């Protein structure tokens, strides 16, 4: 994932671009760069590291110009270094490209272009785009350089394959930016005498909240005075901008040390907002009548990473309340497995961004198989929501931290609500049970508001264990996916090794990795599986583990002789407790 930004307007573009890149750092931060059109010539500045490094370099180089593009990178092809940082140029140095995504056929194209005399300066897939545009310009039709550029870019799009969104600037067409989208996000901000191109809204939200979400295959032409949208055949489309109501503050850190912490604290609000705006009738949302809902035979949940863990919890919810069998697949696996074409299947894709290529690919496959498709997604008008038959939105606001927190708990909340609705529609739970369970769900945000207060207890305990090289997370039943999520979060954020296990499985091998002092975090609220979890603690301790129980008041009392430390959370009920337990792990 990378972040791109482009500006064209009356003012010096550099501060807009640098500021936009800072807002996009959550998309990647191993290197960054800008290209500015200054008096007919492109000035490019690039730096390894965070945008702050680029800012220093840009201050020294001091480029100035009213049109420019920028990029913040998360390496996928070629190591993080200045040569591999974007923007990338063609042989003439007059065409610059910033790109987010992966060009799958870049090696073939690179060979072909090299044989035609193109000289490559980086190891990236992106650079082929710049050279391909240069090559295609040689034969492109058009009365003006601008028309020729558009045609060359269209031809280029027909030759590259993969997921991409890119911005192009050609020195021969001053004051003109082109944005292209295919399976990676691209948005346009419509300002007054200035327009913006970006991977995401926070990059320009300070300047405009009028946003155009590009569809796959579309191209946007930006000048200081306007924006033109072309469909995949090159025909002009009417602009249908949406007004984004997130204010800049929502998109920024809100006074917290870092975005992840801010987003952990956002959770009570995110849950409340998700439930407040929840569609109270999933039948209508899916355009299914009661008979069709009753005919549902199975649910397939498809997702990646944290969203996959939410899906695993969702399985327990749906099977419990609706009695419908559920399979949960990693999207990257679903795409390649043989999925029987079973009538009455509902496929649910869970994704914060709605732009994860594997999830989109997998749900497309589900559609091809004739399944009804539902997205549980956070980003309005994202690709996934346009592919699926219906979308249930989580309402978390923008997720800036790469590590997912509030998106996860909002996904769990949504899946719980969905399970209740399906249960009612299937006749698996009565109207009265539905009402009382839904009422309970509405209290979740209050429990969450108490749960986030454990920060200081957790900080205290982490001081004791943070140097350990390896961590274990154990859970059972509905808390097993939470153990997986805890391990993912710890790996992602601390770069330490961590594994999550179903507590009943440790005796089948994993227990051997426990040594003296191995921090072992055990999810053990005082519920129906408490006794089982207690014996898991004893087994681990016998091997020398340092056991930290994530539990409830009653659990802490009962476990005091079997664990080393306790983190005490409020108790929201057996099936809702995972939503609180994960906070301790975040
Ligand atoms: O945007 P998505 O929910 O589709 O992203 C899927 C995963 O990449 C994501 O959940 C990832 O695992 C988390 N950000 C990790 O914290």
Answer whether 352 contacts ligand 1 (Cβ < 6 A). yes
Is residue 69 helix, strand or coil? Answer: strand
- Asked if 491 contacts 519 with a C-beta cutoff of 8 angstroms, the reply is no
* pLDDT at residue 1, as a whole number: 64
**Ligand 1 mutation target, pool 199, 305, 402, most atoms within 8 A of CB:** 305
Burial of 151 (0-12, 13-18, 19+ CB in 10 A): middle
Neighbours of 165 (CB within 10 A): 25
**Ligand 1 mutation target, pool 26, 404, 415, most atoms within 8 A of CB:** 404
Q: Is 495 left (phi over 0), alpha (psi -120 to 50) or beta?
A: left
* pLDDT at residue 249, as a whole number: 63
353 Cα to the center of ligand 1, angstroms:
8
Q: Which residues of 258-271 are buried (b: 16+ CB within 10 A; e: fewer)?
A: ebbbbbbbbbbbbb
- Asked if 181 contacts 130 with a C-beta cutoff of 8 angstroms, the reply is no
Residues 6+ apart with CB under 8 A from 107: none
Residue 183 is classified by DSSP as B
Answer whether 302 contacts ligand 1 (Cβ < 6 A). no
Answer whether 353 contacts ligand 1 (Cβ < 6 A). yes
Write phi, then psi, for 480 (nearest 5 degrees).
-65, -50
352 Cα to the center of ligand 1, angstroms:
7
Q: Using CA atoms, how far apart are residues 262 and 249, in angstroms rounded to an integer?
A: 12
Residues in the chain, how many? 586
311 Cα to the center of ligand 1, angstroms:
12
- Asked if 208 contacts 201 with a C-beta cutoff of 8 angstroms, the reply is no
Q: Using CA atoms, how far apart are residues 29 and 51, in angstroms rounded to an integer?
A: 7
32 Cα to the center of ligand 1, angstroms:
22
Answer whether 209 contacts ligand 1 (Cβ < 6 A). no
What the block records as the tokens of 455 is: 């920060």
| CA nearest to 577, candidates 523, 501, 499, 536 | 523
133 Cα to the center of ligand 1, angstroms:
33
Q: Where do we find the tokens 């009661």?
A: 290
* pLDDT at residue 250, as a whole number: 65
Q: Using CA atoms, how far apart are residues 195 and 179, in angstroms rounded to an integer?
A: 12
Q: Where do we find the tokens 């978390």?
A: 396
Is residue 43 helix, strand or coil? Answer: strand
| CA nearest to 352, candidates 27, 25, 3, 20 | 27
Answer whether 403 contacts ligand 1 (Cβ < 6 A). yes
* pLDDT at residue 528, as a whole number: 94
**Ligand 1 mutation target, pool 200, 312, 352, 407, most atoms within 8 A of CB:** 352
CA atoms within 13 A on the CB side of 373: 23
Answer whether 404 contacts ligand 1 (Cβ < 6 A). yes
Q: Using CA atoms, how far apart are residues 103 and 191, in angstroms rounded to an integer?
A: 31
Write phi, then psi, for 406 (nearest 5 degrees).
-65, -30
Answer whether 428 contacts ligand 1 (Cβ < 6 A). no
Answer whether 398 contacts ligand 1 (Cβ < 6 A). no
555 DSSP β-pair partners: none
Answer whether 359 contacts ligand 1 (Cβ < 6 A). yes
Protein residue closest via CA to atom 11 of ligand 1: 305
Burial of 364 (0-12, 13-18, 19+ CB in 10 A): middle
One digit per residue, the tens of pLDDT, for the chain of length 586 reads: 689 999 999 999 999 999 999 988 877 778 999 999 999 999 999 999 999 999 999 999 999 999 999 999 877 677 778 999 999 999 999 999 999 988 989 999 999 999 999 999 999 999 999 999 999 999 999 999 999 999 999 999 999 998 799 999 999 999 999 999 998 889 999 999 999 999 988 899 999 999 999 999 999 999 999 999 999 899 999 999 998 877 666 666 656 788 899 899 999 989 988 887 665 567 677 778 888 888 899 999 999 999 999 999 999 999 999 999 999 999 999 999 999 999 999 999 999 999 999 999 999 999 999 999 999 998 877 889 999 999 998 988 778 888 999 999 999 999 999 999 999 999 999 999 999 999 999 999 999 999 999 999 999 999 999 999 999 999 999 999 999 999 999 999 999 999 999 999 999 999 999 999 999 999 999 999 999 999 999 999 999 999 999 999 999 999 999 999 999 999 999 999 999 999 999 9
Answer whether 306 contacts ligand 1 (Cβ < 6 A). yes
Residues 6+ apart with CB under 8 A from 208: 189, 190, 191, 192, 196
560 Cα to the center of ligand 1, angstroms:
36
Task: State which ligand 1 atom lies nearest to the alpha carbon of 304.
Answer: 6
Is residue 471 helix, strand or coil? Answer: strand
Q: Using CA atoms, how far apart are residues 562 and 553, in angstroms rounded to an integer?
A: 15
Residue 505 is classified by DSSP as G
335 Cα to the center of ligand 1, angstroms:
17
Answer whether 305 contacts ligand 1 (Cβ < 6 A). yes
44 Cα to the center of ligand 1, angstroms:
32
**Ligand 1 mutation target, pool 183, 306, 487, most atoms within 8 A of CB:** 306
Write phi, then psi, for 431 (nearest 5 degrees).
-55, -45
356 Cα to the center of ligand 1, angstroms:
8
Burial of 117 (0-12, 13-18, 19+ CB in 10 A): exposed
Neighbours of 554 (CB within 10 A): 14
Protein residue closest via CA to atom 4 of ligand 1: 351
Q: DSSP string spanning 241-277?
A: -EE----HHHHS-TTSSSHHHHHHHTHHHHHHHHHHT
What the block records as the tokens of 564 is: 């080393």
Answer whether 401 contacts ligand 1 (Cβ < 6 A). no
Q: Using CA atoms, how far apart are residues 5 and 72, in angstroms rounded to an integer?
A: 9
Burial of 389 (0-12, 13-18, 19+ CB in 10 A): middle
* pLDDT at residue 252, as a whole number: 63
Cis peptide before 87 (omega within 30 of 0): yes
Answer whether 411 contacts ligand 1 (Cβ < 6 A). no
pTM over 0.85: no
Neighbours of 248 (CB within 10 A): 12
70 Cα to the center of ligand 1, angstroms:
24
Residue 328 is classified by DSSP as E
**Ligand 1 mutation target, pool 26, 27, 356, 415, most atoms within 8 A of CB:** 356
Answer whether 304 contacts ligand 1 (Cβ < 6 A). yes
């Amino acid at each position: 994932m990378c972040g791109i930004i482009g500006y064209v307007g009356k003012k010096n573009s550099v501060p807009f671009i640098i500021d936009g890149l800072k807002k996009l750092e959550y998309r990647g931060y191993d290197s960054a760069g800008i290209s500015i059109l200054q008096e007919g010539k492109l000035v490019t500045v690039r730096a390894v590291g965070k945008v702050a490094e680029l800012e220093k370099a840009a201050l020294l180089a001091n480029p100035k110009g009213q049109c420019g593009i920028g990029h913040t990178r998360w390496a996928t092809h070629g190591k993080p270094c200045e040569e591999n940082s974007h923007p990338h140029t063609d042989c003439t140095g007059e065409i610059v490209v910033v790109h987010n995504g992966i060009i799958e056929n870049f090696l073939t194209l690179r060979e072909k272009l090299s044989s035609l005399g193109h000289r490559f300066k980086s190891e990236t897939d992106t650079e082929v785009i710049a050279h391909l545009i240069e090559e295609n310009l040689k034969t492109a039709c058009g009365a003006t350089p601008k028309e020729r550029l558009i045609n060359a870019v269209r031809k280029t799009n027909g030759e590259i394959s993969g997921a991409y969104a890119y911005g192009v600037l050609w020195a021969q067409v001053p004051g003109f930016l082109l944005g292209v989208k295919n399976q990676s996000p691209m948005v346009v901000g419509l300002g007054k005498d200035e327009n913006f191109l970006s991977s995401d809204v926070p990059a320009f939200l300070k300047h405009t909240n009028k946003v155009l979400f590009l569809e796959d295959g579309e191209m946007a032409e930006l000048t200081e005075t306007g924006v033109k949208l072309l469909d995949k055949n090159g025909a002009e489309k009417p602009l249908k901008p949406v007004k984004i109501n997130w204010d800049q503050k929502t998109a920024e850190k809100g006074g917290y040390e870092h975005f992840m912490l801010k987003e952990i604290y956002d959770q009570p609000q995110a849950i409340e907002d998700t439930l407040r705006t929840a569609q109270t009738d999933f039948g209508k949302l899916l355009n299914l009548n009661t008979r069709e809902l009753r005919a549902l035979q199975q649910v397939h949940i498809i997702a990646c990473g944290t969203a996959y863990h939410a899906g695993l919890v969702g399985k327990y919810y749906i099977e419990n309340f609706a009695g419908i069998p559920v399979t949960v697949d990693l999207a990257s696996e679903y795409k390649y497995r043989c999925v029987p074409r079973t009538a009455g299947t509902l496929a649910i894709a869970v994704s914060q961004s709605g732009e994860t290529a594997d999830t989109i690919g997998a749900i497309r496959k589900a559609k091809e198989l004739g399944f009804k498709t539902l997205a549980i997604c956070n980003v309005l008008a994202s690709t996934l929501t346009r592919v699926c038959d219906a979308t249930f939105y989580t309402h978390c606001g923008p997720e800036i931290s790469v590590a997912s927190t509030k998106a996860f708990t909002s996904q769990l909340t949504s899946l719980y609500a969905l399970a209740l609705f399906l249960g009612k529609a299937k006749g698996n739970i009565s109207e009265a049970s539905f009402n009382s369970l839904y009422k309970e769900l509405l209290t979740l945000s209050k429990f969450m508001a108490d749960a986030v207060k454990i920060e200081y207890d957790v900080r205290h305990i982490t001081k004791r264990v943070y140097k350990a090289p390896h961590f274990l997370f154990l859970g059972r039943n509905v808390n097993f996916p939470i153990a997986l999520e805890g391990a993912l979060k710890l790996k992602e954020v601390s770069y330490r090794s961590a594994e999550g296990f179903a507590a009943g499985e440790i005796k089948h091998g994993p227990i051997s990795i426990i040594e003296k002092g191995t921090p072992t975090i055990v999810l053990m609220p005082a519920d129906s599986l408490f006794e089982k979890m207690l014996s898991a603690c004893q087994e681990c301790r016998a091997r020398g583990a340092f056991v930290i129980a994530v539990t409830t008041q009653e659990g802490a009392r009962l476990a005091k002789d079997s664990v080393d430390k306790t983190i005490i959370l409020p108790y929201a009920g057996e099936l809702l407790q995972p939503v609180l337990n994960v906070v301790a792990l975040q």
